[in-house]
């Protein structure tokens, strides 16, 4: 049977089900295939903080949203065009946020009376009028999966577990995507347990065939490949890209890589990734807590390694004191904060940008530090690399802010080879030099030299007490303290001389400048882009360098009538800008719900400001 | 800044830096630094191969006074910093200097983890049973009832026993020495450096200003023969003015006996075995208290076990040798990739 | 919100809150909460007199599920929070719930200090030898070589032995129980509440998702008779399918013997004394490992010692009774004052 | 012999000597006597971070400065009128900062060749022309002290230790002050060791008589008592006043006081003070670290005690995570930070105001907190009281910032009696109430109720995860999170409705508003006062409430042409104001040398701005 095809620019699919339903895997496998087809993609996994939240409840729903297409994919999308709902709770959790005429694929086997009640519906949403505006595809997915696997002799539970692949097969059919890559994945992954591998493959194929058989929707869709720069791509999450960026930086700096870290959601995957790569020399130390994580990194930096520590909000709080030590001793370490919802334990699995103040100012004493942030899953690679470069070439600790949204999100990464990347030149001194003093500085950067133990004649001592501006010996001299406070500040400020100018998009737009930072780049870009296409006077500038700001920042701000700072917090970057460039007036658009922006809510706000006189 | 080191052996004083030592006159820390310098000299350690890491406290000013690489870190964290140093460069001889507050109050967690991991670091714990630098508050090793600035009516806490805590955290090397015996300190410090894994040397140190004479009953010239049992591996546990008192095992308890009395001969006396895996007897020796028992000094436990930094490094080497991936380019291009052509 | 409690005794389920329990199906935590509720019921604890303090981890969600006062604090710090609760109101029955990561990784310091101080708190340690909530990294109790998400090539660290650490920190009550034996757990928890001072109950807990069957060799139905020695104070240390195997002391070592073989009779078998001050034998029992020995279960140590919160409070009462100062006005006007007149 | 007397308004004396010379005691005893005489006083102890820094070196000099008089005493003074220098190092350390015609009292016995070299002089400053501008009183103090005590049979060291009292005797003579009070002090203190007591008394008298005999200076001085409000006074340090303020607050709130703390300079004395007062029921828990300090306080607050934790910069850094927990659980605790020089270990014994940003913004997530600061040693009492009041009446953690300069400094405190103080009304619920919910709030303050364990039927659970706005149960609902973020912010903001209006001094001065906060109050006041007397258009406003700011702040700022923010950091309050009230332009005057401002440098800056057009 042939199916008529609709060719679409882009589509948003959301896989939703119980925590145990394997939605994250289904979503990831779909992403991998669609990425390989050359689509632009952006993903957004969203799951509860319990390991297996109570079955069948809305609180237990785990979701994976993917936006893919040939163009216009700047974010995982505001709302799905296609919702996969493995049970009533998954339906309930997403009902308030569906595109009109959304396709909803449900497993009717899981719509028993009890399930429906557990999800908080009073009636069966499939039979009352709840879904009348949508196209619903009902499939007895659980029973069909079991039937399909009947011959494999699996226990009930194992068979049941394959229903996500049955579903995925149906979705692949919907979007005319091939099964090969997913099949390979299972062959590879279950080499040692081929029955399970086969079961998944069989379920996948059965789902595909079932969709084909019932002609699940009148039309099925095709998405043409995106017009991307030529090159070789792979799909990558932000946390993986971060890990790889550090590995690349270590290679390009010619020093061993050390990570001292303590597990915390959503940062742990960076450690998981790095620890796989001992073959590349990565030294990964799982410390007893976050303080030991950063302190071991400081020790490793003192001993000449490229030292990293990774964490999230509460762990960052614990590292506060030790960051001060790194500032005082002017050792090059990179501190990664994959931000999550706060305060306190907050919303550990949700995204937020509310640790900016903590990064910039959250320490005792005058303790300036370089702060930079990544803006897409894939560019976490570049910003990890850049953070390391700044740390090593300016002898300063650097904070790299990413977000849960970036760390867990995925997009295609145009693969870099080592030869594409610039050399990093750490300020090491590798042999005796009679002129050297521990706190003597180079003139341009005000950085001191990096002298690791082992070199005859260069023995020296550093520490957290204020130090003499030349010898580094302990000094309680008041003037010297004043000098050192200024030097530490100026050293960080001068990083601005070694970074590119800030750019903005929207040449002739004088009316409104949208300012963003961090992981909301794609969404902000998308929203501004839409309005620019409508011919609105709107421009967009996105910051990755937070402290110091690029030198031309004021110049850009001066060009616009209104400046609107959009961020997932109550206005932290806006406040930082007020303190740093007080000559401008900043409007704010904020959201603190543990969720990314929606393009629609941004456009509303932009239009509002554009219409104001 | 240092002159380039010469090839010849170092004298103890060669390990001193150019910084003026700033402990109070009469502080026990002076004896410890002397012992360390002597031990370094006997070990013929190259200055540039030594990294001394400390926390915060009077004791932790130590690295400033040594012409080696040194790091005066933050309060309670030297074990974590030292761990990073050692993992980053296992070739270094890494020494950690710390106080009872630094390692057992705020730093207790890093302390027990460093011990558990058995990382090859030498940790000298200056136990003056007080917070010196902050001017005299009780510490986790202060004896119950102690009157200090923060306990005007006496403490109501039981102290840690350093040795027991070390053994409880799976420690493989534990030695105890008084600051009054530079010779013994030197020997013990040499043993500590030779031992592979975490070597813990507890020094009973006198703080003349805030806790003067805490250890006096043990260390006083008049008492020391009777109140100290200096353990030597393979030697009988004898002590006393006439070296005729000894330790005997009686069921699951130790007892002090006198050779020549009640038919006791040297063969009744326990012979010290620091290297036995079992920590039962080591623990009993550590637990001996005045006045019933002398205080055990010297290397009490010195056993071989897996060394963390060695295995940490070996795992990396092993992967480097066996992994199919040989370069980052290999990695980046592995798995699912796709190519867009112009 | 709760209905006012009635006067009658509580059934175990009366201690459950209205919140849905969210552990994974099959998690060992369910058995523990059952045992706690049973124990509370048998102890006839008033719900409003109970404060349950936890850190962060799967285990630490515990207080939400209990209809008592509860506080789900931050990772690693429940011992410190619980100490504040107990000192603020010594009348409360204070329970601390924590995981191996929470109490032995990040929270190790507060843990050993709470033990050392012997504050009257009951601490139930859910030892699943893994970080559950963060999805499966090794913990300080994971066995050497364990493959986890953060140790794909196996760990290179030796684990803590909880009991040894507790005793090394001057612990006075230590019990070990498997999550498979709700009856024993219930008994032990009751003993813990009765003991004055810090009572540590280590539960060998199964994490079905990330570390399934870690304790299986000990807890499996088939093995448990041979692989567990359930200690009871005053009873001989017998175990085995036919209850004819026993523990005998041989010099400074323990050994497993069989009654009836080689002339062994029950009188050769050690009788458990949990209350003896000396921790030597307790330590030896804790150290027993498979396959040579069974694993010791039940209350291993249960000794009397000064209780921190009691002495802390007594010192205040004593001062209130004896001080010459009776009001803040007395204090403010004491010492050197001077008066300015109009 | 009669001496001619000069009557002075105010005088600055500095006692300087080796760390072991007992200068802090001499200074304190002088202060006590002069306070009892009814003088206005302000003191500034300044000592090295070593316990006994190397004898005879400049690094080892310990100083105690006291400013006393009948009027114009707003600060410890810029520079001494009288310098006591017990050795060459003490002279050297102070030479750069003496009033013209300063009187210098030296112990010539300590001016041996070696001493002179150790201090870094090339020649003997007493015999070259170094001191030609000053009036030098040379006394063989060491030998005279020994001679005076010869009959007591003391060992050399003990006799030597009394030379500070010999010196103090001389100073008492200079200022016509009586010895009685000091004599009483020694009789009291050495009850159990009367020989030492007698030795000190004898030395004191001998010094007095010696000065009288040699007629040390032609004229000696008399300072008339200050015109102070009538009442009973005592001398008090900031740390002691802080401790007492908490004790008073606990009494007025009718709840037990709990302190969880870990020693750290310069905050430890608050704990030392409180722990003496177990008779008053103070529960003082010396924790194993700062984290346990605050966590035990949080536990105590949960259990219904008034809970405090005290620390300084690095310790504050460690408390960061737990402060977040207190914010999330909305428990009333007070966190005192006695600020010192930073970053990192920094300058532990020096003063600074550089932890403001950390207090206001230094946490992960959106974590608003009330921040207030004390401004003089004695008013630490009031601000500790007020911090407690706000915590209890608004159910929020409160940060109280003081400074080394306040904590160690002393001034006369007009003694309050308990009946002078207002009642504090904690928001407790003490019996079952069917309407109560853990996160239900009162309308005016948005505060929840304080329900301590023990009340039948009110069992409930709190924690660090985001909670439902009513029940307090864990909630991952995005909208609820947004609501809670706003409530927490608004709750803190509404504290502004329950505090007095901000005041300023200088009615008709529109030109320049000097803005200060914290412990520099006296010095800033003095400097502004001087210029106001000169008729300059200058006004002064000093902030104790930092977050929230008093409601009329903008109103005041709007009255002035220029706003100058003066603080001992690189501009933290200025930046905070820029973020909070961005409509104004703020000039800065900053000093980061571990030292307080000088009135002279402030006046220079003020004049500069006043003269600008
Ligand atoms: C984070 C932090 N907390 C507290 C302090 C204050 N402090 C410095 S040293 C010290 C204790 C010193 O005691 P110990 O470690 O026994 O060393 P000692 O001075 O006795 O040699 C304390 C509490 C600090 N510097 N940093
Ligand atoms: C400060 C901080 N660091 C890290 C974490 C992340 N974290 C949460 S629970 C946990 C470990 C859980 O292990 P365990 O205590 O053994 O409890 P389990 O889940 O196994 O019951 C970690 C690392 C956190 N929440 N806060
Ligand atoms: S205070 Fe005590 S420990 Fe510190 S230097 Fe002085 S004598 Fe030594
Ligand atoms: S992850 Fe493990 S410990 Fe956590 S709830 Fe699930 S089974 Fe239990
Ligand atoms: Mg000490
Ligand atoms: Mg665990």
Helix (H, G, I), strand (E, B) or coil at A289: coil
CA of D50, nearest ligand number:
3
Residue D3 has pLDDT above 70, yes or no: no
CA distance A539 to A504: 7
CA distance A170 to A209: 8
Q: What is the DSSP letter of A441?
A: B
Per-residue pLDDT of D548-582, as tens digits, reads 999 999 999 999 999 999 999 999 999 999 999 99
Could you give the angle at which helices D163-174 and D180-189 cross, rounded to 10 degrees?
160
Where residue C167 falls among pLDDT bands split at 50, 70, 90?
A: very high
Judgement on whether residues D258 and D197 belong to the same structural domain of the protein: no
**Taking CB atoms and an 8 Å limit, are B105 and D345 in contact across chains?**
no
Candidate of A50, A262, A320, A321 to mutate for ligand 2, largest count of ligand atoms within 8 Å of Cβ: A262
CATH number of the domain bearing residue D584: 3.40.50.920
Where residue B321 falls among pLDDT bands split at 50, 70, 90?
A: very high
Higher per-residue pLDDT: D363 or B1: D363
Judgement on whether residues D214 and D247 belong to the same structural domain of the protein: no
Mean per-residue pLDDT, B7-32: 90
Judgement on whether residues D125 and D204 belong to the same structural domain of the protein: yes
Q: Residue A218: what pLDDT?
A: 63
Q: Decide if B295 is inside a domain.
A: no
Q: Residue C8: what pLDDT?
A: 46
Query: How many structural domains comprise chain B?
Result: 1
CA distance C302 to C305: 10
Mean pLDDT computed over every residue of chain A: 93
- Say yes or no: C160 contacts chain B, CB-CB below 8 A: yes
pLDDT > 70 in chain D, percent? 98
Going from the Cα of D518 to the center of ligand 5, the distance in angstroms, rounded, reads: 34
Q: Is the peptide bond before C45 cis (omega within 30 degrees of 0)?
A: no
For ligand 3, is residue B227 a contact (CB within 6 Å)?
no
Q: Decide if D478 is inside a domain.
A: no
For ligand 4, is residue C21 a contact (CB within 6 Å)?
no
Going from the Cα of A290 to the center of ligand 3, the distance in angstroms, rounded, reads: 31
Q: Decide if C223 is inside a domain.
A: no
Beta strands in B189-241 (DSSP E): 199-204, 228-231, 238-239
Q: Residue D50: what pLDDT?
A: 77
Higher per-residue pLDDT: D4 or B306: B306
Residue B336 has pLDDT above 90, yes or no: no
Q: Which residues contact D372 (CB under 8 A, 6 or more apart)?
A: D383, D386, D387, D390, D398, D399, D400, D401, D544, D545, D546
CATH number of the domain bearing residue D362: 3.40.50.970
Q: How remote is the C-alpha of D284 from its chain's centroid?
A: 21
Candidate of C28, C29, C131 to mutate for ligand 4, largest count of ligand atoms within 8 Å of Cβ: C29
Residue A187 has pLDDT above 70, yes or no: yes
* Token pair for D187: 């009789």
Q: Residue D568: what pLDDT?
A: 98
CA distance A45 to A14: 9
Judgement on whether residues A268 and A396 belong to the same structural domain of the protein: yes
Per-residue pLDDT of C251-277, as tens digits, reads 999 999 999 999 999 999 999 999 999
Helix (H, G, I), strand (E, B) or coil at D576: helix
ipTM score of the complex? 0.95
Q: Decide if A466 is inside a domain.
A: no
CA distance A586 to A608: 15
Residue D297 has pLDDT above 80, yes or no: yes
Higher per-residue pLDDT: B135 or D612: B135
For ligand 2, is residue A264 a contact (CB within 6 Å)?
yes
- Number of the ligand 1 atom closest to the C-alpha atom of B104: 15
Query: How many structural domains comprise chain A?
Result: 3
Nearest to B269 by CA among B231, B314, B228: B231
Q: Virtual CA dihedral for D442, D448, D453, D457, nearest 10 degrees?
A: 50
| Range in A244-248, C90-94, D64-68 the model is least confident about | D64-68
* Token pair for B332: 């980046």
Q: Virtual CA dihedral for B147, B150, B156, B162, nearest 10 degrees?
A: -90
For ligand 2, is residue C139 a contact (CB within 6 Å)?
yes
- pTM value > 0.90: yes
Q: Decide if D199 is inside a domain.
A: yes
Domain stop point among D174, D193, D223? D223
Please give the helix or strand (H or E) that residue D301 lies within, else none.
helix D290-302
Q: Residue D2: what pLDDT?
A: 44
Specify the length of chain D in residues.
613
Phi, psi (degrees; rounded to nearest 5) at D150:
-50, -40
Candidate of C22, C24, C25 to mutate for ligand 4, largest count of ligand atoms within 8 Å of Cβ: C24
Q: Virtual CA dihedral for B18, B19, B25, B28, nearest 10 degrees?
A: -80
Per-residue pLDDT of A551-585, as tens digits, reads 999 999 999 999 999 999 999 999 999 999 999 99
CATH number of the domain bearing residue B149: 3.40.50.970
Per-residue pLDDT of C93-145, as tens digits, reads 999 999 999 999 999 999 999 999 999 999 999 999 999 999 999 999 999 99
Q: Decide if D359 is inside a domain.
A: yes
Contact indicator for A260, A287 with CB cutoff of 8 Å: yes
Q: Decide if D472 is inside a domain.
A: no
Going from the Cα of C98 to the center of ligand 1, the distance in angstroms, rounded, reads: 29
Residue C7 has pLDDT above 70, yes or no: no
Contact indicator for B328, A257 with CB cutoff of 8 Å: no
Nearest to B158 by CA among B133, B129, B184: B129
Judgement on whether residues D213 and D250 belong to the same structural domain of the protein: no
Judgement on whether residues D218 and D254 belong to the same structural domain of the protein: no
CA distance A319 to A292: 9
Query: A-chain residues within 8 Å CB-CB of C78?
Result: none
Judgement on whether residues A22 and A111 belong to the same structural domain of the protein: yes
* Facing residue for C169 by CB, picked from B165, B253, B305: B165
CA distance C146 to A142: 36
Specify the length of chain C in residues.
342
Q: Decide if D560 is inside a domain.
A: yes
Residue B8 has pLDDT above 60, yes or no: no
Per-residue pLDDT of C291-313, as tens digits, reads 999 999 999 999 999 999 999 99
Per-residue pLDDT of A225-240, as tens digits, reads 777 788 899 999 999 9
Residue D101 has pLDDT above 90, yes or no: no
Nearest to D152 by CA among D206, D214, D106, D213: D206
Q: Residue D12: what pLDDT?
A: 93
Judgement on whether residues D254 and D219 belong to the same structural domain of the protein: no
Q: Residue D420: what pLDDT?
A: 93
Q: Which residues contact B261 (CB under 8 A, 6 or more apart)?
A: none
CA distance A286 to C16: 37
Q: Residue D262: what pLDDT?
A: 98
Domain coverage including residue D140 = 4-223
Specify the length of chain A in residues.
613
Placement of tokens 């003070």 in the chain: D273
Helix (H, G, I), strand (E, B) or coil at A64: strand
Q: Decide if A207 is inside a domain.
A: yes
Domain stop point among A389, A413, A437? A413
Please give the helix or strand (H or E) that residue C223 lies within, else none.
helix C221-227
**Helix intervals (H) in D402-450:** 404-408
Q: Decide if D502 is inside a domain.
A: no
CA distance B42 to A301: 30
* Token pair for D36: 């009892």
Per-residue pLDDT of D319-366, as tens digits, reads 999 999 999 999 999 999 999 999 999 999 999 999 999 999 999 999
Q: Decide if C317 is inside a domain.
A: no
Q: Residue A100: what pLDDT?
A: 84
Q: Residue B3: what pLDDT?
A: 41
Judgement on whether residues D261 and D216 belong to the same structural domain of the protein: no
Helix (H, G, I), strand (E, B) or coil at D356: helix
Residue D191 has pLDDT above 80, yes or no: yes
For ligand 4, is residue C24 a contact (CB within 6 Å)?
yes
Where residue C1 falls among pLDDT bands split at 50, 70, 90?
A: very low
User: How does strand C93-99 pair with strand B238-239?
Assistant: unpaired
Min Cα distance D63 → chain A (Å) is: 14
Judgement on whether residues D568 and D604 belong to the same structural domain of the protein: yes
Q: Residue A47: what pLDDT?
A: 82
Residue B6 has pLDDT above 60, yes or no: no
Please give the helix or strand (H or E) that residue A400 lies within, else none.
strand A398-403
Q: How remote is the C-alpha of C66 from its chain's centroid?
A: 18
CA distance A523 to B268: 83
Q: Decide if B241 is inside a domain.
A: no
CATH number of the domain bearing residue D174: 3.40.920.10
Ligand 1 atom 5 nearest Cα: D264
Contact indicator for A94, A40 with CB cutoff of 8 Å: no
CA distance A452 to D463: 44
Mean per-residue pLDDT, A36-65: 85
DSSP per-residue letters across D150-189: GGGT--HHHHHTTHHHHHHHHHHHHTT--SHHHHHHHHHH
Name the region of C35 (left: φ>0; alpha: ψ -120 to 50; beta: rest).
Answer: alpha
Contact indicator for D147, D187 with CB cutoff of 8 Å: no
Q: How remote is the C-alpha of A484 from its chain's centroid?
A: 36
The 10 Å CB-count burial string (b at 16+, else e) for C42-72 is beebebbbbbbbbbbbbbbbbbbbbbbbbbb
What's the number of CA atoms in the CB half-sphere (13 Å) around residue C222? 2
Helix (H, G, I), strand (E, B) or coil at A478: helix
Burial of B12 (0-12, 13-18, 19+ CB in 10 A): middle
Q: Residue B1: what pLDDT?
A: 37
Q: Decide if C276 is inside a domain.
A: no
Judgement on whether residues A184 and A144 belong to the same structural domain of the protein: yes
Domain stop point among D413, D439, D468? D413
Residue A613 has pLDDT above 80, yes or no: no
Contact indicator for B130, B104 with CB cutoff of 8 Å: no
Min Cα distance C71 → chain A (Å) is: 13
Phi, psi (degrees; rounded to nearest 5) at D306:
-80, 115
Q: Residue C93: what pLDDT?
A: 98
Q: How many CB pairs under 8 A join B and C?
A: 110
**Taking CB atoms and an 8 Å limit, are D265 and B134 in contact across chains?**
yes
Q: Residue A39: what pLDDT?
A: 83
Mean pLDDT computed over every residue of chain C: 95
pLDDT > 90 in chain C, percent? 94
Domain coverage including residue B202 = 12-216
Q: Decide if B83 is inside a domain.
A: yes
Residue C2 has pLDDT above 70, yes or no: no
| Range in A130-144, B227-241, C2-16, D289-303 the model is least confident about | C2-16
Per-residue pLDDT of D425-454, as tens digits, reads 999 999 999 999 999 999 999 999 999 999
Beta bridge partners of D564: D514, D587
| Range in A322-336, B225-239, D129-143 the model is least confident about | D129-143
Q: Which residues contact A32 (CB under 8 A, 6 or more apart)?
A: A181, A182, A185, A235, B336
Judgement on whether residues A41 and A98 belong to the same structural domain of the protein: yes
Mean per-residue pLDDT, D242-270: 98
């Amino acid at each position: 049977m042939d199916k008529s095809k609709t060719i679409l620019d882009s589509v948003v699919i959301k896989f939703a089900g119980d925590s145990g339903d394997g939605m994250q895997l289904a979503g990831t496998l779909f992403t991998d295939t669609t990425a390989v087809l050359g689509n632009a993609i952006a993903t957004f996994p969203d799951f509860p903080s319990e390991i297996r939240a109570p079955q069948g409840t809305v609180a237990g729903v785990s979701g994976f949203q993917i936006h893919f297409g040939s163009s216009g994919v700047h974010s995982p999308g505001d709302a799905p065009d296609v919702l996969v709902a493995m049970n009533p709770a998954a339906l309930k959790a997403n009902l308030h946020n569906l595109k009109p005429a959304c396709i909803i694929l449900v497993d009717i086997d899981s719509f028993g009376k009890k399930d429906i009640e557990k999800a908080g519906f009073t009636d069966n949403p499939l039979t009352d009028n709840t879904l009348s505006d949508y196209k619903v595809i009902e499939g007895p997915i659980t029973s069909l999966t079991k039937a399909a696997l009947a011959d494999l002799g699996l226990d009930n539970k194992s068979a049941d577990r394959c229903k996500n692949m049955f579903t995925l097969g149906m979705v692949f059919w919907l979007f005319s995507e091939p099964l090969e890559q997913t099949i390979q994945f299972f062959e590879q992954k279950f080499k040692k347990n081929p029955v399970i591998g086969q079961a998944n493959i069989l379920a996948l194929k059965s789902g595909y065939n079932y969709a084909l058989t019932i002609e699940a929707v009148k039309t099925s869709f095709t998405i043409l490949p995106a017009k991307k720069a030529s090159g070789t791509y792979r799909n990558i999450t932000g946390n993986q890209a971060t890990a790889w960026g550090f590995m690349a930086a270590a290679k390009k700096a010619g020093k061993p890589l050390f990570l001292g870290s303590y597990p915390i959601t959503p940062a742990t995957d960076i450690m998981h990734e790095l620890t796989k790569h001992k073959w590349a020399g990565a030294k990964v130390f799982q410390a007893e807590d976050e303080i030991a994580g950063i302190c071991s990194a400081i020790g490793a930096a003192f001993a000449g390694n490229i030292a990293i520590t990774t964490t999230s909000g509460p762990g960052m709080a614990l590292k506060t004191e030790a960051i001060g030590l790194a500032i005082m001793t002017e050792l090059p370490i990179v501190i990664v904060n994959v931000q999550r919802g706060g305060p306190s334990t907050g919303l550990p699995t949700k995204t937020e940008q509310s640790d900016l103040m903590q990064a910039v100012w959250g320490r005792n004493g005058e303790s300036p530090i370089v702060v930079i942030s990544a803006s897409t899953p894939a560019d976490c690679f570049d910003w990890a690399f850049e953070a390391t470069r700044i740390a090593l070439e300016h002898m300063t600790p650097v904070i790299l802010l990413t977000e849960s949204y970036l760390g867990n999100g995925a997009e295609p990464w145009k693969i870099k080879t080592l030869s594409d990347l610039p050399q990093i030149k750490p300020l090491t001194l590798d042999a005796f030099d009679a002129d050297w003093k521990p706190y003597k500085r180079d003139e341009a950067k005000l950085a001191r030299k990096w002298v690791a133990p082992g070199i005859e004649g260069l023995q020296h001592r550093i520490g957290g007490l204020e130090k003499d501006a030349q010898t580094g010996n302990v000094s309680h001299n008041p003037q010297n303290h004043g000098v050192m406070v200024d030097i530490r500040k100026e050293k960080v400020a001068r990083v601005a001389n070694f970074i590119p100018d800030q750019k903005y998009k929207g040449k002739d737009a004088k009316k409104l400048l949208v300012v963003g930072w961090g992981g909301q780049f794609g969404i902000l870009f998308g929203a501004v882009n839409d309005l620019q296409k409508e011919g609105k006077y709107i421009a967009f500038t996105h910051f990755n360098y937070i402290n110091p700001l690029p030198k031309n920042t004021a110049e850009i701000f001066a060009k616009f009538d209104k400046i609107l700072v959009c961020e997932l917090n109550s206005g932290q970057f806006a406040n930082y800008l007020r303190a740093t460039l007080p000559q401008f007036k900043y409007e704010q658009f904020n959201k603190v719900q543990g969720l990314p922006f929606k393009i629609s809510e941004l456009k509303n706000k932009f239009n509002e400001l554009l219409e104001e006189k | 800044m240092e002159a380039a080191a010469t090839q010849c052996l170092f004298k103890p004083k060669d390990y001193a830096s150019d910084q003026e030592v700033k402990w109070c006159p009469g502080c026990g820390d002076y004896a410890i630094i002397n012992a360390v310098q002597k031990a370094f000299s006997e070990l013929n350690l190259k200055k540039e191969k030594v990294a001394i890491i400390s926390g915060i406290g009077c004791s932790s000013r130590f690295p400033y006074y040594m012409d080696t690489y040194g790091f005066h870190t933050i309060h309670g964290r030297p074990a974590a910093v030292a761990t990073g140093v050692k993992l980053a460069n296992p070739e270094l001889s890494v020494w950690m200097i710390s106080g009872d507050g630094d390692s057992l109050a705020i730093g207790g967690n890093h302390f027990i983890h460093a011990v558990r991991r058995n990382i090859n670091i030498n940790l000298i714990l200056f136990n003056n049973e007080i917070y010196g630098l902050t001017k005299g508050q009780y510490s986790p090793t202060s004896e119950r009832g102690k009157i200090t600035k923060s306990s005007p009516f006496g403490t109501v806490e039981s102290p840690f026993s350093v040795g027991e805590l070390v053994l409880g955290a799976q420690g493989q090397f534990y030695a105890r020495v008084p600051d009054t015996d530079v010779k013994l300190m030197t020997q013990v410090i040499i043993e500590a450096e030779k031992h592979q894994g975490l070597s813990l040397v507890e020094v009973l140190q006198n703080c003349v200003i805030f806790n003067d004479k805490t250890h006096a009953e043990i260390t006083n010239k008049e008492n020391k023969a009777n109140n100290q049992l200096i353990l030597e591996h393979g030697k009988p546990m004898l002590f006393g003015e006439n070296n005729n008192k000894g330790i005997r095992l009686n069921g699951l308890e130790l007892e002090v006996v006198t050779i020549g009395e009640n038919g006791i001969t040297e063969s009744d006396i326990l012979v010290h075995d620091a290297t036995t895996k079992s920590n039962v007897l080591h623990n009993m020796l550590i637990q001996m208290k005045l006045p019933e028992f002398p205080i055990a000094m010297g290397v009490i436990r010195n056993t071989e076990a897996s060394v963390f930094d060695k295995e940490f490094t070996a795992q990396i080497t092993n992967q480097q040798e066996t992994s199919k991936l040989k370069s980052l380019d290999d990695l980046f291009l592995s798995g699912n990739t796709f190519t867009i052509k112009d």
